[in-house]
Structure 1
Amino acid sequence: MRCSDRRAWKSARTLADLGRRTADWLEGRLASQPGYMPNCGPDEETAELVPSLAALNRAGLMTTCSQPGLAEIGYDGAWWTQHAAVEGYLTDRALFQQILDAAEALGHLVVVDDPHTGRRDEVVVVTHRDGEPYTAFGARPGPRDMHALYGVLHPEARRELDGAIHLAVIAPYYGPASHRALWRSLDQVTGLEPPDADEDQDDQVDGPPPRIST
């Protein structure tokens, strides 16, 4: 990580600071972020999600991972299915409730790990390769992983993360229609899209219910 990027991350003290730094990384103003390969920007599949992710980060949800919804033949010739999903950390209880309300209204899945209430939901498998589980969202990293990922941060910022809610929001079905519904609902929470925006006529469920990991 460049010295300038390291200083930028080290100067963060609050989760709101971390969210702003993450938005800057997503938009290319920072070349690196903690826990990610140095001097690399977001993955190619994330490009279309950058405006939504940056808005979430500036609203108070520091995102750590996301993916679009799809159902297609992948680079390896296998059949890949993905549920649109995002996960991260937040301390703003009002924003947390807004996201929960939006998710409930549209049937999105949420996975919550809240150290203050003790709620800890089961993780959800969000990607399958030829029908086999491949990726899950919702698992909160343990202390060793947190140190490996965020050791560059100031101790105050790390304490913020330790006490924050870890949240994943997941479309209930795989594919592009549920992808649009998930990201539209989050854009409405952040104000990126008006709350009364018209929905596409073809936004119908496009996959079977998700599998829950144990």
Structure 2
Amino acid sequence: MSRADRRRWKSARTTSDLGELMALWLEGKIASRPGYQPRSGPESETAHLVPTLAALCRAGYVTTQSQPGRAGTGADGRWWEQRAAVELVVTDSTLFHPLVDAAYAAGLIVRNNDPDGGVQEQPVIVTTREGEPVTWFGGRIGHTGMAIQWTGLDRDLYRTVSTGTYVSIIAPEYGGAGDRMWDVLDFLTGRRRYGPADLWASSTQPTDPARG
């Protein structure tokens, strides 16, 4: 990470500051971010998700990792399937319930994890190779991993994000059909609007299968 980038991340004092910097990194306006390979932007497969992810960051939900729903033959000739998924850190309790309620209303899987010793829910498989699990979202977040993820932040801001709630939102289906999840999140942030018939205004939670 360049000296200029380090200064920018170190200068952030609030979650809003952090969200704006993360949005700028997603948009390619900052070369590096903490906890990620220097001078590397988001993976090419997530390019079409950047507007949604940046809007989430600017709305107070700081995204930490994401992937689209996909299914097909990989570069290794094997069959790969992945669920659309995103992990966000939420430090404002007034933002937590709208996010979780919208996800439940849409039948998405939700995992909440508090790295400061609170709730630690079980992870969910999000990528398989020939039917075998490869990656997971959700699950325990340790203090060592947290320090690596947010290295270089202001001490007080680090304390805020390291004690926030890490929420994973995951499509229940594998493949491109799961990308409906991004529409749900766009309605949450206001990138898309239904008007009077907004389907995501309900806080009704789904049956157990949608909880993963």
TM-score (norm: length of structure 1): 0.88
* Mapping of residues 117-156 of structure 1, within 5 Å: 118-156=118-156
C-alpha separation in 2, matches of 1:27 and 1:106:
27
Paired residue secondary structure (2:174): coil
Runs of 4+ in 1 over 6 A off after TM superposition: none
Runs of at least 5 residues in structure 2 that lack an aligned partner in the other structure: 200-208
Alignment partner, residue 203 of structure 1: none
TM-score (norm: length of structure 2): 0.88
Alignment partner, residue 61 of structure 2: 61
Q: CA deviation at 1:117?
A: 9.2
C-alpha separation in 2, matches of 1:4 and 1:117:
35
Note if 1:72 corresponds to 2:69.
Answer: no
Q: CA deviation at 1:140?
A: 4.2
Q: CA deviation at 1:115?
A: 5.9
Alignment partner, residue 106 of structure 2: 106
Deviation string 1:71-108 (CA, Å, 9 cap, x unpaired) is 11111111111110000201122221111111111110
Percent identity over the alignment is 49
How many equivalent pairs are there? 202
Alignment partner, residue 84 of structure 2: 84
Evaluate the alpha carbon distance shift between residue 153 and residue 117 of structure 1 in structure 2; reply closer, same or farther with a 3 A threshold: closer
Alignment partner, residue 190 of structure 1: 189
Contact 2:19 2:60 in 1 (8 A): yes
Q: CA deviation at 1:195?
A: 3.3
Contact 2:122 2:140 in 1 (8 A): no
Contact 1:83 1:172 in 2 (8 A): yes
C-alpha separation in 2, matches of 1:142 and 1:70:
29
C-alpha separation in 1, matches of 2:47 and 2:198:
24
C-alpha separation in 2, matches of 1:86 and 1:152:
23
Alignment partner, residue 173 of structure 1: 173
Q: CA deviation at 1:18?
A: 1.2
Paired residue secondary structure (2:127): strand
Contact 2:12 2:157 in 1 (8 A): yes
C-alpha separation in 2, matches of 1:195 and 1:57:
22
Contact 2:115 2:141 in 1 (8 A): no
Contact 1:140 1:166 in 2 (8 A): no
C-alpha separation in 1, matches of 2:198 and 2:15:
33
Bigger mean CA deviation after superposition, 49-58 or 12-21: 12-21
Runs of at least 5 residues in structure 1 that lack an aligned partner in the other structure: 200-208
